[in-house]
Amino acid sequence: MIRRAAIARSLRLLDANRVEGCIVPSRSQYPHQWFWDSCFHAIVLAGRRPAAAVRELESLYAGQWKNGMFPHMRFLSRGAKARYRPNAGDWKTGRPTSGITQPPIIATAARIVYAAARDRRFLRRAYARIRAYHLWLQKSRDPEGSGLVAVLHPWESGMDNSPVYGAAKDRYLRDNPSPNVPPRVDTRKVRAKERPTDDYYRFYWGLIAGFQEDDWDARGMYRRGPVRIADALFNGIWTKANEDLAALAGELGKSKDAALFARWAERSRRAMCKFLWCPRRRFFYSYDLRRGRRILVKTVGGFMPLLAGGVEAKIAAALAECLADRREFFSKFGVPSTSRGEAAFDPVCYWRGPVWISTHWLLVQGLLRCGRRDEALRISEISRGLVERSGYREYYHPFKGEGLGAHGFSWSALAHRMIVPREANNL
């Protein structure tokens, strides 16, 4: 009964955050559409409102580029009057979207939504859109076919000020005259210490200016962009997404496509174990493709290769140990976004320490996948508890459980849908 009331509250929140046919992450802080947020919203809705889940995913099509890319943001006209920077005009992409992408979780979301909605028209349309996206991502972010796709801007990783991007930021600011950055608006409603520093904002805007010089040409951006990082979370999601796209292709009888995407998934699994896994430190790290070395900072992203399956039992066991270690990722209120052992760890600052419900959700799927049910249940319970106690906040303090960042934050509704029914993995 309590559970049902909680789910109803989550659905009410999503209803309240619906603007121009899609759900925004938060009405005050993020008044536009974000790519991976909408995928998470669709996953939440699939449980009780499959038709609304279909609509949420389909609302992303309006932003998709002709080359297949799903941009990380689509600007809404109502939101245009709201204060968010960079706005559509700042990006100069020639359309009301940003020019970069975000973690490619749409195939996974579509598989979950299809398992709930069983709507063939949705499946056919979604498949064509997502297939185009995967072909674009593969070609433009892994042109050598290594199995690892690159992130070119920290915003693409979804974990914007993660210390994974700290060294790249420092190098960038050292080598480039500090770009002019318009006054920050993100710190008007959220305390500055919970948001990225001004340096990060100079870096974010500077990278955008560089891409504008390349006229948003994917090849030029990849070749000349100062950041080229195989992010562990992004690649874990990408691998799982190829497996899910293969399942959707199979459902449509497209066996050649199914074999292709299954092969891509397998290639990425191998590449993650070869390049991201560090046998000595027993952890998955993001990898700097420009410099040819791992970025030795432990973040929650390091658990995400588990999502993709096929991880050796001893690797899964090492990660479980790290998850249970108070000096690393164990804390009363969940799994911090950055290890407690890192110098950059900060329990209130955005992706440098706080607990996020989205990464909890991903972690739960990864743990279930490698048979770690107890750990998965613990994280599910903590997630529900956080939302009950502190509301739908953007992130939470790992030791105190207090809410941080934006209020009325949509994807925190995932707390009530941590464990996806088995059908979604068995179309």
- Residues classed as catalytic: 160, 394
Between 186 and 243, CB nearer to ligand 2M8: 186
Shortest Cβ 282–ligand 2M8 spacing (Å): 27
Element (H, E) at 229: strand 229-230
Shortest Cβ 204–ligand 2M8 spacing (Å): 8
Spatial separation of the C-alpha atoms in residues 390 and 398, rounded to whole Å: 12
Residue in 306, 268, 248, 239 with CA at minimum distance from that of residue 424? 248
CB 257 within 8 A of CB 249: yes
Shortest Cβ 366–ligand 2M8 spacing (Å): 18
- Rounded alpha-carbon distances, angstroms, from residue 303 to 17, 298, 366: 30, 10, 8
Between 153 and 269, CB nearer to ligand 2M8: 153
The two tokens of residue 301 are 């992203």
Spatial separation of the C-alpha atoms in residues 219 and 209, rounded to whole Å: 16
Shortest Cβ 160–ligand 2M8 spacing (Å): 5
Between 103 and 302, CB nearer to ligand 2M8: 103
Q: Is the peptide bond before 25 cis (omega within 30 degrees of 0)?
A: no
Residues whose CB falls within 8 Å of the CB of residue 384, separated by 6 or more in sequence, listed in order: 6, 415, 416, 418
Between 107 and 404, CB nearer to ligand 2M8: 404
Report the SS3 class of residue 105. coil
Shortest Cβ 259–ligand 2M8 spacing (Å): 32
The two tokens of residue 376 are 């998965």
Helices (H), strands (E): how many in the chain? 16, 11
Shortest Cβ 30–ligand 2M8 spacing (Å): 5
DSSP code per residue over 29-78: TB-SEEHHHHHHHHHHHHHH-HHHHHHHHHGGGGG--TTSPPPSEE--HH
CB 404 within 8 A of CB 395: yes
Contact residues toward ligand 2M8 (CB under 6 A) are 25, 30, 34, 36-37, 72, 155, 158, 160, 186
Between 34 and 345, CB nearer to ligand 2M8: 34
Between 160 and 375, CB nearer to ligand 2M8: 160
Shortest Cβ 337–ligand 2M8 spacing (Å): 10
**Residue 399: CB atoms within 10 Å:** 14
Between 136 and 350, CB nearer to ligand 2M8: 350
